[in-house]
Homo-oligomer: A and B are copies of this chain.
Amino acid sequence: MPPDPSTLHGGSLLLAWQLKDKHVLIVGGGDVASGRIESVLVADAHITLIVPRSGLHPLTQHFLTAAPDRITHHDRVFAGPQDLDGVDMVLTAIDDVEASRHICALCRERRIPVNVADVPPSCDFYFGSQIRSGPLQVMISTNGRSPKLANVIRRRIEACIPEHAADAIERVGELRTKLKERAPGVGGEVGKRRMRWMVDICSSWDMEDLAMLDDKMMARLLDEGWEKNQVPKLEDVGGKRERAADRSATQASSVLPTVLGFAAGAACTALVFLARRP
């Protein structure tokens, strides 16, 4: 059933913002700023950090020391509009609410996306609780209602992400690239066929099997699968499952109590009968 638009409201638009080779200005160097630096480094941005040296959190200092080529530090407070020249995004995390509002206003005049920590009306976007595992990124947002519960839910989600997810995503990404080289073209019939075949592979193979794909197996998968428009199995392209042992180990955990219970019951009953023997 199509969604009822009256139920669609009150949320955010969750996005994966692209910052490769972009310039991000971070104002402030405390605990919150250090988290921002980490998130922005993940996205391959150049960072300009404006904060007096006295306000540097140890983790912020660590990033400055460990990545001097990726972060330019100015040992001072925000000086004015000139600090926004060439900047693509601004994140402030300072205690001075008035200064933050001023920076926000300057950004809005210039249409620079801005986030002022802890001042929602001065934010074009919020951060959520995040998980990162190689190419996989997950964000949990409670739309500002409870950052703590977002963290609780993050931990639950972390525990149920398939073990081999990151490797599987990496390998499938490589397979897609190789497939596009073999059958190039944007959109159209070939694009649709590529997408269908990739979906078939990802639906038929386990995450663990996908994670095992190497260059040789990918070449065979394209030869035997794509070219013949079929979906081979892992074994058909030279892969080998190694999971029989793991699987029986998992099953054992439910079989074990039954077996132990049986043995204990048998032993107790035997003792009763033996004790009663004349």
> Which chain A residues have a beta carbon within 8 Å of chain B's beta carbons?
2-6, 8-19, 38-45, 58-59, 62-63, 66-67, 70, 95, 97, 110-113, 118-119, 123-128, 130, 132, 135-146, 148-149, 152-153, 156-157, 159-162, 165, 168-170, 172-173, 176, 186-187, 191, 198-199, 202-203, 207, 210, 254, 257-270, 273
Contacts and interface: CB of A to CB of B under 8 A. Distances in A.
Chain B CB within 10 Å — which of A112, A119, A138 has the most?
A: A138
B13 A43 contact: yes
Contact of A42 (B9, B39, B42, B257): B9
B273 A18 contact: no
B126 A136 contact: no
Chain B CB within 10 Å — which of A45, A142, A176 has the most?
A: A142
Contacts of A2: 58-59, 62-63, 66
A13 B38 contact: no
Given A137-B143, A160-B157, A125 B17 contact: yes
Given A172-B149, A269-B270, A132 B11 contact: yes
A115 to B, nearest CB: 8
B18 A148 contact: no
Nearest to A153: B165
A79 to B, nearest CB: 22
Contacts of A273: 269-270, 273
Given A257-B257, A267-B269, 13 more contacts: A5-B67, A10-B44, A14-B15, A15-B127, A16-B125, A16-B141, A111-B111, A139-B139, A145-B172, A145-B173, A257-B261, A258-B260, A261-B263
Contact of A139 (B9, B14, B110, B261): B14
B139 A135 contact: no
Given A5-B63, A161-B157, A118 B258 contact: no
Given A12-B18, A265-B263, A138 B138 contact: yes
Contacts of A11: 42-44, 132, 135, 137
A257 B258 CA distance: 5
Contacts of A267: 265, 269
